[in-house]
């Protein structure tokens, strides 16, 4: 989903840690350690949160 919006045509590629750290420096620690899927299930269930804006994909597609 996200890579096509960013112009990568849904292609992914391997990037070893050494190359990532050389390119991203200190940010690599954050970027490589936050490989998590984010869902709002608990926010909705436990906190009663209801999203008000468009889905992220729609927002990204309309921002081009």
Handedness of CA 47, 39, 16, 2 (dihedral sign): negative
pTM of the complete model: 0.38
Q: Is the dihedral of CA 7, 32, 36, 46 positive or negative?
A: negative
Distances in whole angstroms, Cα of residue 21 to Cα of each of 14, 17, 36: 14, 6, 19
Percent above pLDDT 70 for the chain: 81
Give the separation between CA 19 and CA 24, rounded to whole angstroms: 8
Question: Helix, strand, or coil here: 54?
Answer: coil
Residues 22-45: what's their mean pLDDT?
79
28: tokens are 């690599």
């Amino acid at each position: 989903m996200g890579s096509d919006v960013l112009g990568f045509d849904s292609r992914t590629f391997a990037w070893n840690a050494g190359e990532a750290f050389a390119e991203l420096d200190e940010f690599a620690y954050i970027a490589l350690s936050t490989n998590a899927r984010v869902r709002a299930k608990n926010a909705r269930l436990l906190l009663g949160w209801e999203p008000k804006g468009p889905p992220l994909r729609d927002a990204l597609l309309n921002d081009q």
